[in-house]
Chains A and B, each alone.
Chain A
Amino acid sequence: MRKVSVLLAALFVIAGLVIATNGRALEGEVPTAPAIGATVDNFTLPDVDGNEKALSSLKGKNGTVLIFISVQCPVSNAYNERMEKLAQNYKAKGIAVIGINSNSTEDAAAVKDHASAKGLTFTILKDTGNKVADKLGATRTPEAYFLDASNKLVYHGRIDNNQNASLIEANDLRNAIDASLAGKPVEKTEAKAFGCSIKRA
């Protein structure tokens, strides 16, 4: 009888290990993104000049857009002009746009040079060790998060449906910001697109 219970216990342990292992392989390693409506806690990261900046000091009066971007990713680069325009268009409306570079393959100097070459004037933070990418479950570039005035996540995902500006049919990020500014519910709170994976440390 004792032998049987030991055997059963061993079987449970093995089954547990098998399930855990399979689960890990299937779930991937990146933490999942916060749910829509969840509050994003304050964080601090250095900008491209090495000055520590807190989300609380950069956030817009009416909301904040965080966009994970890249120096080398062609998809992210296809959006440079659109991201800059977004920052310019919404500055007067109290919305701040903040770029975050979490790629371990791109250092602060490269991010600074790239921003200057591409005319990106919004603040870009360097997320060494991808701690903010992990906190937000960001996996690709470009990937956007729109937080309302109280840092609640209102929208997560793509900027629009196509990296080719002539094929845009859904301006999902702008639609979310506009709805939020108008005090209306955001119809589409999440949207996906293909992009380069973030090169984690």
Chain B
Amino acid sequence: MRFSRAILLLVVSLTLVSFAAPAQNKKRGRVAKPRPPLPVVAAIDTENLKTLLKESRQKPLLVNFWATWCDPCRDEFPDLVKIDSDYRPHSLDFVTVSLDDFTDIKTSVPKFLGTMNARMPAYLLNANDPEPAINAVDPKWQGDLPATFLYNDKGEVVYKHFGRVNATELRAAIDKLVK
């Protein structure tokens, strides 16, 4: 009697182990899959931002100023990522400049860019006083976000938009430069 109970216990244990093992393997398989690294966000100060915008270049440049706390900025981001993937092969440079708090440079900013699958070079403005940067970009800009500027290869602004961008309008402006 005791022997048969032991046999039963062994059978039940082996059955449970056989069910559990594949599940564990599956779990291990999921963990083993490498996660894509978070995008790198570089700090940029006002002087370097000015240089970035004014330097002579071979290609048109699109610049989007945004922040994770800005609803329309987040809303328009999928459109911008699509524009980047559609136009980068056609010689458009596209950079984003985040106006988030500097302490977010390794946390919420790259995390958001990662979820958006954003590939464009990403900066975060490192300036305690934002006014010189705003004025350097556009003296008529009050600092409302989002703000999008398109520069031609001579460094001149050919299109700008404050607030959520109209993707069709922006694409039309880019088409004039790259086609």
- List, in ascending order, chain B residues with CB within 8 A of A183's CB: none
- The digit string for A184-201, where 1 denotes a CB below 8 A from any CB of B, is 000000011111111100
A197 touches B144 (CB 8 A): yes
A41 to B169 CA separation, bound complex (whole angstroms): 36
Query: Is B92 in contact with chain A by the CB < 8 A criterion?
Result: no
- The digit string for B120-156, where 1 denotes a CB below 8 A from any CB of A, is 0000000011110011000011111110000000000
Interface window among A54-62, A115-123, A159-167: A159-167
B129 touches A161 (CB 8 A): yes
A192 touches B135 (CB 8 A): yes
Query: Is A128 in contact with chain B by the CB < 8 A criterion?
Result: no
Residue from A28, A143, A162, A164 in contact with B160 in the complex, judged by beta carbons closer than 8 Å: A28
B interface size (C-beta, 8 A): 29
Chain A interface SS verdict (over half): loop
Known: A26-B159, A139-B162. Contact between A191 and B142, CB under 8 A?
A: no
A139 touches B69 (CB 8 A): no
- List, in ascending order, chain A residues with CB within 8 A of B128's CB: 161-162, 167, 169
B70 touches A196 (CB 8 A): yes
- List, in ascending order, chain A residues with CB within 8 A of B130's CB: 161, 192-194
Residue from B71, B135, B141, B169 in contact with A72 in the complex, judged by beta carbons closer than 8 Å: B71
Query: Is A75 in contact with chain B by the CB < 8 A criterion?
Result: yes
Closest residue of chain B to A163 (Cβ to Cβ) is B101
- The digit string for A20-34, where 1 denotes a CB below 8 A from any CB of B, is 000001111010100
A194 touches B146 (CB 8 A): no
A194 touches B129 (CB 8 A): no
Name the distance in Å between A29's Cβ and chain B's nearest Cβ. Answer: 9
- List, in ascending order, chain B residues with CB within 8 A of A158's CB: 131, 143
Name the distance in Å between A181's Cβ and chain B's nearest Cβ. Answer: 24
A139 touches B129 (CB 8 A): no
B131 touches A195 (CB 8 A): no
- The digit string for B38-81, where 1 denotes a CB below 8 A from any CB of A, is 00000000000000000000000000010101111000000000
- List, in ascending order, chain A residues with CB within 8 A of B143's CB: 140, 158, 192-195
Name the distance in Å between B136's Cβ and chain A's nearest Cβ. Answer: 11
B146 touches A197 (CB 8 A): yes
Query: Is B17 in contact with chain A by the CB < 8 A criterion?
Result: no
Query: Is B161 in contact with chain A by the CB < 8 A criterion?
Result: yes
A139 touches B144 (CB 8 A): yes
Extra inter-chain contacts (4) besides given A139-B142, A162-B128, A197-B146, CB under 8 Å: A139-B144, A140-B144, A161-B131, A193-B134
Question: What are 7 inter-chain pairs, A to B, with CB distance below 8 A?
Answer: A140-B142, A158-B143, A164-B101, A170-B129, A194-B65, A194-B67, A194-B143
Q: Which 4 A-B pairs have the closest CB atoms?
A: A140-B144, A197-B144, A74-B69, A139-B144
